[in-house]
């Protein structure tokens, strides 16, 4: 009986630790290959294909590929623009989506359910189906800037930010999360004289850390 118990204990240890470690190693291999490949010349990569050396820091290891990339293109500018656009888009998306979800959950207005029904089907619409129409619309939109009235948003930061500020998935996440918040807390705040804007900013949003993090990750990716 003791031997059977020991065998079961050993099997549980293998299942709990060994199997996850093996799975993690399998998933790490592509990342290791990517890093090692970035430090080797093309000729060495072709000669090492099909063997273990591509995963090891052996051979002609250098930073020449990174230096060449920064010499051929303004990579630092690309990274800076990506960080700025992503950051602004995430912040605006969280504000707009949370406000829309707040209106759907806590406010009573005509057509609320119908509007939510119309938003939910957008979850299954692939971006590829609206990419061309979105491009055509963005190429004709007006914009008032320092230089005056401009037609077309192409080759600008605003076309990468404003067109992706709100989407059905983010609104849906906030709606589902807000529905689980205690309604008595909202009612108590209203009884104390808090406006809906104050309820959203001071009560609902501070309690929405998990959904804020989830929505920020999905929007940023």
pLDDT at 174 over 90: yes
pLDDT at 148 over 70: yes
62 and 98 in one domain? Answer: no
Q: What is the mean pLDDT of residues 195-207?
A: 91
Average pLDDT of every residue of the chain: 83
66 and 115 in one domain? Answer: no
The band of 112, judged by pLDDT with boundaries at 50, 70 and 90, is: confident
Q: What's the pLDDT score for residue 2?
A: 47
Model confidence pLDDT, tens digit, residues 120-145: 888 888 888 888 888 888 888 888 77
125 and 66 in one domain? Answer: no
Model confidence pLDDT, tens digit, residues 57-90: 777 778 888 888 888 888 888 888 889 989 999 9
> Contact at 8 Å (CB) between 174 and 98?
yes
199 and 151 in one domain? Answer: yes
The number of distinct structural domains making up the chain is 2
Q: Which residue has the higher pLDDT, 34 or 46?
A: 34
Model confidence pLDDT, tens digit, residues 25-43: 888 888 888 888 888 887 7
- Of 52-56, 163-167, 211-215, the least confident: 52-56
Domain hosting residue 14, numbered range? 2-72
Name the one residue in this structure whose structure tokens are 């990468």. Answer: 160
Please choose, from the candidates 164, 165, 132, 159, the residue with its C-alpha nearest in 3D space to the C-alpha of residue 143: 159
- Please state, in angstroms and rounded to a whole number, the distance separating the CA atoms of residues 187 and 203: 11
117 and 136 in one domain? Answer: yes
Where is the domain boundary, 56, 72, 88?
72
Where is the domain boundary, 72, 96, 127?
72
Where is the domain boundary, 19, 49, 72?
72
55 and 85 in one domain? Answer: no
207 and 110 in one domain? Answer: yes
196 and 115 in one domain? Answer: yes
57 and 19 in one domain? Answer: yes
86 and 55 in one domain? Answer: no
Looking at residue 140, which CATH number applies to its domain? 1.10.3720.10
183 and 203 in one domain? Answer: yes
> Contact at 8 Å (CB) between 199 and 189?
yes
214 and 109 in one domain? Answer: yes
């Amino acid at each position: 009986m003791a031997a059977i118990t020991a065998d079961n204990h050993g099997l549980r240890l293998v299942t709990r630790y060994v199997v996850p470690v093996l799975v993690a190693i399998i998933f790490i291999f592509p990342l290791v290959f990517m890093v090692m490949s970035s430090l080797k010349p093309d000729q060495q990569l072709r000669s090492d294909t099909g063997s273990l050396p591509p995963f090891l820091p052996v051979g002609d290891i250098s930073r020449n590929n990174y230096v060449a990339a920064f010499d051929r293109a303004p990579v630092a500018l690309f990274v800076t623009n990506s960080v700025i656009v992503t950051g602004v888009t995430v912040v605006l998306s969280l504000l707009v989506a949370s406000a829309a979800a707040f209106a759907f959950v806590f406010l009573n207005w005509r057509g609320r359910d119908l509007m939510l029904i119309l938003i939910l089907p957008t979850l299954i619409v692939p971006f590829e189906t609206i990419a061309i129409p979105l491009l055509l619309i963005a190429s004709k939109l007006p914009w008032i800037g320092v230089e005056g009235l401009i037609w077309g948003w192409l080759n600008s930061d605003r076309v990468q930010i404003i067109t992706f500020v709100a989407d059905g998935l983010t609104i849906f996440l906030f709606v589902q999360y807000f529905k689980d918040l205690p309604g008595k807390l909202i009612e108590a705040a209203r009884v104390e004289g808090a406006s809906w804007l104050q309820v959203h900013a001071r009560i609902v949003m501070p309690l929405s850390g998990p959904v804020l993090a989830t929505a920020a990750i999905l929007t940023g990716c």
